[in-house]
Structure 1
């Protein structure tokens, strides 16, 4: 099945219709809390991240407070998020850089975001999109899987899929479409047992007959 531009446009229209009111499941109140939450979300559910950040931010909700807490205590606070040694190191080093170079504030510039320890394209795109209202498509495991299955954007790396999605989706919808694809991956197009019979894109999906 060849997925044409017209079919891709129909896919986006249907995803928007179903998931138009969705947003990030992460809890945060400012760009710094969002940044920390996204770093913690690697290989961890948003539900678990929210449990961890509720506890952490009651004690330390700024870069300076986390530095005062110390890395050992930080590890204790985030240990239930998985990969906590590496995450604590990245968060702590990021806090140092924020305090030393950005007056304790999360930078709005995309390249500056990428310069922070532990911040890759996905994290930078999430922060740029949600915190600073800039068009961006963050490719996490759900977006990567759904995009490839639908052939909305094919690629073997997140960067390749990101470029494909940027071509397939109007720029003004990039940030919202990021959430549509995530929620579709969570609710319907699951990794192991996709619910194809319930999928609103079933008749358009070239993979529907292959994953069942």
Structure 2
């Protein structure tokens, strides 16, 4: 089976297993998704979802956050880790959006990645989930792990992994592909104990790096 056929089979099978994939992060606006995604770096989505209600009630939009005191924001997001850098980047992004971009979040990769602390993964998540725009595939820890196990890439570099995946997956599935692998990585293809016998991908997966006992 070619890599493209394998990737297509992955999409087909996981789309049936997870028919309505959505972001695990709670948000109501594109800006709030950007904030939540920045906070989710090196932090669980569940933890972020306990922090953002307070954050969004106090600072619901870029204009409000642009005027936030850094120590106040740091206190609210402390439990997400790396809170000083995250607070610095979020306030800087809020100021740029408010004072240079007319209060509107950019709707393209170049514009989003020009914001402080926003790399391709975050931009891809925002574009796909908030705007329905697919410029690439968001590569997080689950996508990285499963893409390697499935033999779709041999790289550990998220940028290289994205480049490897893009020609293998139809563009209309780029956004959902991230969701599929995240959900499957959490539920079945776990980091330490992948449930291979129960996996719908078992007969097409080369199980790269998986021990025989898994």
Secondary structure of residue in 2 paired with 1:167 = coil
Q: Which residue of 1 aligns with 2:80?
A: 81
Cα gap change, 1:15 to 1:154, in 2 (>3 Å): farther
| Separation (CA, whole Å) in 1 of partners of 2:168 and 2:176 | 14
Count, aligned residues: 211
Contact 2:4-2:169 at 8 Å conserved across structures: no
Contact 1:20-1:180 at 8 Å conserved across structures: no
1:146 to 2:146 alignment: yes
Cα gap change, 1:199 to 1:60, in 2 (>3 Å): same
Structure 1: gaps spanning 5 or more residues = none
Shift of 1:17: 1.3
Contact 1:202-1:208 at 8 Å conserved across structures: no
In the superposition, the TM-score normalised over structure 1's length comes to 0.94
Q: Which residue of 1 aligns with 2:159?
A: 159
Runs of 4+ residues over 4 Å off in structure 1: none
| Separation (CA, whole Å) in 2 of partners of 1:124 and 1:208 | 29
Structure 2: gaps spanning 5 or more residues = none
Shift of 1:91: 0.5
In the superposition, the TM-score normalised over structure 2's length comes to 0.93
How do 1:60-209 residues align onto structure 2 when only pairs under 5 Å count?
Answer: 60-135=59-134, 136-207=136-207
Aligned-residue Cα RMSD (Å) equals 1.5
Q: Which residue of 2 aligns with 1:26?
A: 25
Contact 1:153-1:168 at 8 Å conserved across structures: no
